[in-house]
Amino acid sequence: MAARNDRDRVQVFLFGTRLTNITRQLKHRDPEVSFQMVAHAVPDWSGGTRIGEALGLFNRNWSRRVLGQGAVVLLVTDGLDRDGAAGLAENMERLHKSCARLIWLNPLLRWDGFEPRSQGIRAMLPHVDDFRPVHNLDSLRALIATLSTAPRAGLMDKWRLSA
């Protein structure tokens, strides 16, 4: 919400079982009002995530409209896809090609023993520029630093996946 209210060209989408544009709901200055409006606009809070399907819909209907002029995409998800990663790699690749930088913020990275085992995570990982945790204030400070720098070559080497 802070990024949306601080910048003119920020678009915000949520996905669960379907994709929902919540940009308008976040325009209200009062966070309580905005969050209530978001809660009413998004009916699928607990149905699992269909990441591949949601990204496919975003790529078809929104990417050309909102991803121009060096857009940076922040994708916040644990990568656990309800549909077994159907279409996920292809839609991640298309999204990555449509933006200047794709940063995946994953709350599961807070765990020291995290390993990319799920099909969804494995399908998404090759198509991101940065793979970062998002779970506390320190991770948000690190995100700010990440947004202030150019992507680093070889960043994904730690997460190269064996076949």
101 and 27 in a common domain: no
73 and 44 in a common domain: no
134 and 78 in a common domain: yes
Per-residue model confidence (pLDDT) at position 8: 63
In a domain, 91, yes or no: yes
Q: How many CB atoms lie within 10 A of CB 1?
A: 17
In a domain, 59, yes or no: no
Domain extent at residue 7: 1-48
* Cα–Cα distance measured from residue 27 to residue 12, given in angstroms and rounded to the nearest whole number: 11
In a domain, 125, yes or no: yes
Q: Work out how many domains the chain is built from and give that number.
A: 2
88 and 145 in a common domain: yes
Per-residue model confidence (pLDDT) at position 98: 93
11 and 85 in a common domain: no
Per-residue model confidence (pLDDT) at position 45: 63
Question: With contact defined as beta carbons under 8 Å apart, do 50 and 77 qualify?
Answer: no
pLDDT in 10s for each residue of the chain, 163 residues: 555 455 567 888 877 777 888 888 888 878 888 888 888 887 766 666 888 988 999 999 999 988 888 889 989 888 888 888 889 999 999 999 999 999 999 888 888 888 878 898 999 999 999 988 888 888 888 888 888 877 655 445 554 554 4
Per-residue model confidence (pLDDT) at position 2: 52
96 and 35 in a common domain: no
pTM of the model: 0.75
* Cα–Cα distance measured from residue 45 to residue 18, given in angstroms and rounded to the nearest whole number: 10
Three-class secondary structure of residue 57 per DSSP: helix
